Amino acid sequence: MAASSGLTPLIVVGLPMVVGDGLFNCAAVIRDGAVLGVVPKSYLPNYREFYEQRFFSAARDAVPTIVIVDGEEVPFGADLIFEATDLPGFALHVEICEDGWVAIPPSTWAALGGATVLANLSGSPVTIGKETYRKNLCTGHSARTISAHVYVAAGYGESTTDLAWDGDALITENGSLLARSQQFATTDQVISADIDLDRLRQERMRMISLRDQAGDHSEQLKSLRRIGFSFGELGGDDDVLRRVVPRFPYVPADSADLDERCAEVRHIQVQGLAQRLRSTGIDKIVIGVSGGLDSTLALLVAVDTFDRLGLPRTNILGYTMPGFATGGATLRRSHVLMNSLGVSGKEIDIRPSCEQMLADLDHPYSRGEKVYDVTFENVQAGERTSHLFRLANHHGAIVLGTGDLSELALGWCTYGVGDQMSHYNVNGSVPKTLIQHLIRWMISSSHHSAETSEVLAEILDDVISPELVPAGDDGRIQSTEDTVGPYELHDFFLYYVTRFGFRPTKVAYLARQAWGDRSRGPWSELLSEDKRNEYDAATIEHWLGIFLKRFMGNQFKRTAMPNGPKIGSGGSLSPRGDWRSPSDASARVWLDQLAGGSSAG
């Protein structure tokens, strides 16, 4: 105890303690030279190599709730929660070894009662397969209780008369492994990770089933005792988080995880479209094929769907519709893609109908002036969609939408008679960065013919552009990201705003951790070196401000969005599902918070 004086950490150590007529296997919680409480073990194993009941009594057998330690009265029991008065959301519960292996661990009740950090001191010996079992146990428990879980087992130096010890230690948070020790180390080890208490609290507020269960057991939870303490001065000069903040939250960096994720996304999209076709009795679709990322993925999903349903690919009616700024390369790619996939492909030049509409509007372009405003762009987008819907009527088909989640978030779509509308959209819950990785994955996994894969690679390498405005005198084509900003940043912002509801300053802080240094953290092997970007704080905050304004200002487009399957836990923006928001809300509070917030969020 004396050695902890003046130290910041909350320290938990194991010890035997005689209380009344019983000997208890205990954990003492120590802070700054004082014992805050002592927790006895609740469940004593008495099977195989374990014979604890020969010596120890269980927590339920203890009569005293207060013990004397070093002359001071200290709370005693398995019902203690240690709450920090100066760190919102930090509430620790401690249990011992077997307590975490039973059907309903004591920490489960503590989590229902508000504990956010669950610690387990374990004397667990190692046997074949136990390393994996422990990981699954700890990550699963943290997921079910929406908590952080800290586990440490006995290691080097324990008697190996009949058993071996690996010194396993894990820090998990809501189902994710944040840190783990080296197995069978022969020297002392320290592992550390930053736990996101905000994230846990947000999740608990959102997952009302946890509250409902707490209500079901309210009488039992009322008996939990809360021990207040203060950490004192926290923090330091080190601004680097001790946890990985993924640059692409929708896309795993690990190759095996990425392969599994991409396959799962593909199956969800195909399942959604297949059910819509079955339920309507329609066996044809109409799709606009631009030669860009979104329409390419939607076309590939359509092909897989028709193959699964046993329908001919020729029932996929693909139309490429060049306008005033369509490049020769994208037009060629559209035709090659449709031909290589064996769908019915056709080209319709929309320029004559657009010129007629511009003339009807008395637009300056119709008089020969080079005015390329929003009306000029939307006339083309509207004509394409109008053609697609009339073609669907004509052929007894449905229009398959192609717009993605990122475009919906930014409002980067033409409302109504435009690319915002379709009969069904398989991409509406898929962010742009995931679409890029899906196509990379399809190329690397040889899902399609060499000809198709070659054109997919060309599509990936091209600038993201709606191709609605002719190139300037310098030959530079219209670039979406020059206007709205990098999709890789916007998808990052979108995930943390919609999935966790974080305030803008925290989103900016996390973005700096993820994108501030390209040498930190893992990258997907499918992403080439020249695509591995980094951004400074000013750039991140600039584009976050743009995101917040566009996101809130374009809710009206999402209020009327078409049907489509939800893909990931990041959520969809459907007004019928994850995102219910008024169309006339303002981003002012968010923008003010971003402008006046602290650097740490």
How confident is the model over 362-417, as pLDDT tens digits? 999 999 999 999 999 999 999 999 999 999 999 999 999 999 999 999 999 999 98
* Residues 265, 208 within the same domain: no
Q: Three-state DSSP class for 364?
A: helix
Final residue of a structural domain among 188, 211, 229? 229
Q: For residue 365, what are the domain limits?
A: 255-596
Residue 235 — pLDDT band, cuts 50, 70, 90? low
Q: How far apart are CA 74 and CA 521, in angstroms?
A: 44
The least confident of 59-73, 123-137, 203-217, 468-482 is 468-482
SS3 176: strand
Q: How many domains does the chain contain in total?
A: 2
Residue 526's CATH number: 3.40.50.620
- At residue 276, the 3 state secondary structure works out as helix
Mean pLDDT of 426-431: 97
Q: Is residue 287 included in any domain, yes or no?
A: yes
Question: H or E segment at 151?
Answer: strand 148-153
Last residue of a domain, one of 168, 195, 229: 229
243, part of any domain: no
My answer on whether 204 and 332 are in the same domain is: no
Instruction: Write phi, then psi, for 583 (nearest 5 degrees).
Output: -75, -15
Q: Is 600 helix (H, G, I), strand (E, B) or coil?
A: coil
Tokens at residue 496, please?
Answer: 């943390």
**Are 364 and 371 spatial neighbours (Cβ–Cβ below 8 Å)?**
yes
Same domain as 269, residue 196: no
Same structural domain, 439 and 531: yes
566 and 465, same structural domain?
yes
* Single residue among 229, 263, 290 that ends a domain in this structure: 229
What span, in angstroms and rounded, lies between the C-alpha atoms of 332 and 334?
Answer: 5
Whether residues 291 and 326 fall in one domain = yes
Let me know whether 543 and 578 are in one domain.
yes
Q: Is residue 190 located within the same domain as residue 263?
A: no
Q: Give, rounded to a whole angstrom, the gap between the first and last alpha carbons of the chain.
A: 35
Q: Which two tokens stand for residue 86?
A: 């100066």
Q: What is the pLDDT of residue 256?
A: 85
Domain assignment present for 153: yes
Average pLDDT, the chain: 94
Residue 322 and residue 180 share a domain: no
CA–CA–CA angle 354, 356, 361 (5° rounding): 95
Q: 278, exposed or middle or buried, with CB in 10 Å at 0-12, 13-18, 19+?
A: exposed
At 570, the pLDDT band (50, 70, 90 cuts) reads confident
Q: Are residues 219 and 264 in the same domain?
A: no
Same structural domain, 29 and 137: yes
Would you say residue 531 lies in a domain?
yes
Residue 238 belongs to a domain? no
DSSP string, 395-459: HT-EEEE---HHHHHHT-S--SSSTT--SEESSTT--HHHHHHHHHHHHHTT-S-HHHHHHHHHH
Residue 208 maps to a domain:
yes
Both 435 and 471 in a single domain?
yes
CATH number, domain of 72, equals 3.60.110.10
Q: Are 351 and 324 in contact (CB under 8 A)?
A: yes
Is 138 a member of any domain?
A: yes
Query: Checking DSSP bridges between strand 72-75 and strand 80-84, what pairing results, if any?
Result: unpaired
d(CA 194, CA 182): 19
Cα(241)–Cα(601) distance, rounded to whole angstroms? 13
Give domain status of residue 295, yes or no: yes
